[in-house]
Structure 1
Amino acid sequence: MSANSSPRAQRMAMLAASSATAQQATEPAASTEPSYICTSVTATTVESFLAEIQEAAASGVDIIELRLDFLTDFDPEQHLEKIIKACPLPYIVTYRPVWEGGKYEGPEPERLAVLKMAALMGAPYVDVEFKASPYFFADPHEVPLSTKVILSYHDFKQTPDAAVLNKLATAMRQAGADIVKLAAMANDIGDAARMLDLLRNKDGPMIALSMGERGQIVRLLAAKYGGHLTFAAMSPERASAPGQPDIGRLAGLFNYRKQSAATKVFGIIGNPVAQSKSPLIHNTAFQHIGFDGVYVPLLVDDLERFLAAFKDYDDFAGFSVTIPHKEAALRAAKDVDPVAAQIGAVNTLIRQADGSFKGYNTDWEAAISAIERGLAGVAGGAAAAAAAAAKNAGTPAAESPLKGRTVVVIGAGGAGRALAFGAAARGARVLIANRSRDRADALAAALAAQYGSAAAAAVSYEDLAGGRVVGDVLANSTSVGMAPNTEESPVPAAVAGQFKVVFDAVYNPLWTRLLLDAKAGGATPVDGLQMFVGQALEQFRLFTGGSEPPAELMERTVEESMGVKK
């Protein structure tokens, strides 16, 4: 080794020699390495820190991150060895300074000395900030090769563009990183695509993370794309970074350890999506039938921008689409199912062989069947309603209890259009109330063009709220009343009781303020769970290429998650 070579070059040469000697016998190829689940210990006193280590070890993770910077009573000489010996699992020693988002405010030489001390004590990993790497590697012989050095970079404001990210990754590798870690805030879900691109094109072990809800998919899909690890919290309220999932959901619901490059990705596109039960119902069903797919929440601000960002991700095979993107989904689809085209809204996108998407609408049959059962006084849960919807698909208007009834639809968006066209197809007269009157007028005109001038009309939202609109069925297609705004209702309580049947497309909570008011007023309430499960069953068939969905399991799973008792 040249005496003039830099400390970084010396470290790299040492690593290269070690790797050649080992002939990769102890280090699997990157493509076959597992992706680990790591959780962070962030207690503030040594005593509680030691207890939290044991809790972390029992939580089901593979690696524990020791965030020493959170400790307020930490004395390295007295406590470091004790903390390290308390770890029954592989661990990462992190001593993050405030200038990189951590808690440590002391001198840099002392901080870096602690990390080197941990390495000499046998730490499997130490996390060193990229900016500090020249000082940490000043003498490469101070850091044993048995310790993997994670060089990390964090941007808490934004995600750099692809060129900057790739340049950073290359520089970090050249600086002596055994593992490159890049974490950046996602201000749009398209930012997550750039982080996944890093993983797809990596040239060595890498941790790539998008912070924030818009970037959560990077954390959930790191195993599929070959990330060295992902971080998870021991419980939802203990997340150490924005968008961090909890261990139970990551390992169980999102099947993290069984993801592979072949795993197909599906998701719910909407804003908001945090409250959606779609990941729960679809992942449970996928795992039940052994389908190699994972279903994730996708917080999307602009549908066109999202699809453009992920246009090269052929394994993103299909999406459920919810508020406010159902009409945009219609425009995004190259091919559209005739029913969806007639309705003018799409709630399902399926990727075709050429990379384009075909749009479907699975809302309308599920919703209309639930309303029909309410009018007919038929008992039964969501699975029964969904079965009825499948059986009654294409039911002639003459056979429907909606024939000759007046249905008042609140909302003229995608779900409202599905309800309105479905009711009109069954022979009902449809009245549309929407806060934006021009959208109500447009929907009424579309219905009249299809079913005749007497089939539909727009009404004033103020007239509806004032009790001046008369009908048999009131159907809310808006998000008013959805958690967390559970005390809101689209109409006053007195108005809800004026109808025979009141349907609410909102299913979380199951008993919305609208349905409670309707029941108190003597109307028959029909909850949105019946529509939700019904449309999900048909989506499941589309996602899996025709597999029969486990209907009762899907219904029971959602009901149990909502505390519904039968």
Structure 2
Amino acid sequence: MPARTRLAVWGDPIGHSRSPELHTAAYRHLGLEWTYDRRRVDRTGFGTALRSLDDSWRGLSLTMPLKEAAHDAAHDLDRHAALTGAVNTLLLGDTLRGFNTDVGGIVDAFSHAGVTSVGVARILGAGATAASALVALSDLGAAEVEVRARRPEAIERLRPIARAVGVRLTVADFATAASDVDVTVATLPSGTVLDTAIAAPLAAVGGTLFEAAYAPWPSALAAVWPSANVISGFEMLLFQAVRQIRIFRFGDQHRRLPDEAVTVDIMRSASMED
């Protein structure tokens, strides 16, 4: 392995990030003497910070507002990063390789909950996470995805992604009567509270809910959903981190770690202890 042992998560704000606990627990279990820290970096300072890294650095995790900047900085993009225009993982070296592990993290979160295929889905919100959710739903087999957002113009950025992955995209506002779907992915900002007259009908026909927000928990939306059909956004955080660790270890987010199930359990426990 190259002698690059430093990693970190960058973003702004960053103090709340649970990534250091997850990654550090995994590297300890895997016997890797790698350090993983957090650093506050805003969009303006991203380029300078990236250029300042020396050969001791192996990779970076990126959170908001740096995913688009990391996408633009990468020399090589994986399929999910190219589709979404967002990079949350950079593997450093002679070639700067950019990955999006949020997509796979959503797929893995659904799969872990027993949802391995989707026909019709609904996305609430049209921000950056919605793009990853749309690609994840396509990877799970969705042929049709309805999007509801407070700003319909924000949905326009999702249309070329839907065409690229062969998904029929429909648009509705929150007041429109909802039809049955297999799953609902909520990508609304943390703390969003939908009126009960809106949330309750969505819960009644929304299938399994994946709620991207996980703090505070339960979210207002998760609280009105049948509890047996709710997946916390922590699951995406956990499984996208597993994929990042695969990248930092092997350069490939699809190559499983040794004893991976145990590693995942250790990461989950580490977060609960924090």
Alignment length (residue pairs)? 258
Map residues 393-404 of structure 1 onto 2, 5 A cutoff: 400-402=116-118, 404=119
Q: Which runs of 5+ in 2 are unaligned?
A: 252-256
- Among 524, 535, 552, the alignment partner of 2:240 is 535
Aligned twin of 2:39: 298
Q: Is the 8 A contact 2:135 2:161 kept in 1?
A: no
Q: 1:423 aligns with which of 113, 137, 142?
A: 137
- Tell me, in whole angstroms, the C-alpha distance in 2 between the residues paired with 1:445 and 1:286: 38
- Superposed, 1:40-189 pairs within 5 Å as none
Which residue of 511, 519, 530 corresponds with 2:226?
519
Decide whether aligned partners of structure 1 residues 495 and 300 sit closer, same or farther in structure 2, where only a CA change above 3 A counts. Answer: farther
Q: Label 1:271 to 1:312 Cα distance change in 2 as closer, same or farther (>3 A).
A: closer
TM-superposition CA deviations, 1:351-380 (whole Å, max 9, x none): 12x2x521111121221243355465xxxx
Task: Give the whole-Å Cα distance in 1 for the aligned partners of 2:97 and 2:4.
Answer: 21
Q: Does the 8 Å CA contact 2:190/2:215 hold for their aligned counterparts?
A: no
Q: Which residue of 2 aligns with 1:289?
A: 30
Give 3-state SS (helix, strand or coil) of 2:238's partner. helix
Aligned CA distance change for structure 1 residues 280 and 374 (closer, same or farther; 3 Å): closer
What TM-score, normalized to structure 2? 0.82
Correspondence 1:174-323 to 2 at 5 A: 264-302=5-43, 305-314=45-54, 315-323=56-64
Maintained 8 Å contact 2:103/2:136: yes
Partners of 1:468 and 1:322 lie apart in 2 by 34
SS at match of 1:331: helix
In the alignment, structure 1 segments of 5+ residues that lack a partner are 1-261, 377-399, 482-487, 562-566
Aligned equivalent of 1:343, options 80, 84, 93: 84
Superposition deviation, residue 496 in structure 1 = 4.6
SS at match of 1:556: helix
- Compared with structure 1, are the counterparts of its residues 298 and 457 closer, same or farther at alpha carbon in structure 2 (3 Å cutoff)? farther
Partner of 2:200: 494
Q: What pairs with 1:373-522 in structure 2 (closer than 5 Å)?
A: 374=113, 376=115, 400-402=116-118, 404-405=119-120, 407-425=121-139, 426-451=141-166, 455-459=168-172, 463-464=173-174, 466=175, 468-472=177-181, 473-481=183-191, 488-489=192-193, 492=196, 493-498=199-204, 499-519=206-226
Task: Please state whether the residue corresponding to 1:371 is helix, strand or coil.
Answer: helix
Relative contact order: is structure 1 or structure 2 higher (C-alpha 8 Å, sep ≥ 6)? Answer: 2
Pairing 1:370–2:101 present = no
Rate the CA distance shift 1:357–1:477 in 2: closer, same or farther, 3 A: farther
- CA drift at 1:348: 1.0
Does the Cα contact within 8 Å between 1:375 and 1:500 map onto a contact in 2? no
Q: How far does the alpha carbon of each residue in 1:25-60 deviate from its partner, in whole angstroms, 9 at most, with x for none?
A: xxxxxxxxxxxxxxxxxxxxxxxxxxxxxxxxxxxx
**CA deviation profile, 1:136-191 (whole Å, cap 9, x unmatched):** xxxxxxxxxxxxxxxxxxxxxxxxxxxxxxxxxxxxxxxxxxxxxxxxxxxxxxxx
- Does residue 331 (structure 1) correspond to residue 38 (structure 2)? The answer is no
Query: Residues 410 and 265 of structure 1: is their aligned pair in 2 closer, same or farther, counting only changes over 3 Å?
Result: farther
Instruction: Give the CA deviation at 1:490.
Output: 5.3
Structure with higher Rg: it is 1
Distance 1:293 1:374, change over 3 A: closer
Shift of 1:431: 1.8
Separation in structure 1 between the aligned mates of residue 29 and residue 187 of structure 2, nearest angstrom: 31
CA distance in 2, matches of 1:525, 1:295: 31
Matched-pair contact (CA < 8 Å) for 1:329–1:346: yes
Tell me the percent identity: 28
The CA deviation string for residues 445-466 of structure 1, in whole angstroms up to 9 with x for no partner, is 33124415xx11233xxx22x3
1:340 and 1:527 mapped to 2: Cα distance? 23
**SS at the partner of 2:45?**
helix
2:13 match: secondary structure: coil
Alpha carbons of structure 1 residues 458 and 496: separation in structure 2 relative to 1, 3 Å: closer
Secondary structure of 1:552's counterpart equals helix
The CA deviation at 1:420 is 0.4
TM-score normalised by the chain length of structure 1: 0.42
Contact 1:291 1:544 in 2 (8 A): no
Cα distance in 2 for partners of 1:427, 1:545 equals 30
**For residue 65 of structure 2, what is the amino acid of its counterpart?**
P
Q: Match of 1:64? A: none
CA drift of 1:417 comes to 0.9
2:254 maps to which residue? Answer: none
For the 8 Å contact 2:210–2:231, the answer to whether it is kept is yes
**Deviations 1:408-434 (Å, cap 9, x if unpaired)?**
212333321111012123133112233
Structure 2 letter corresponding to 1:343: T
Alpha-carbon separation, structure 1, partners of 2:4 and 2:33 = 5
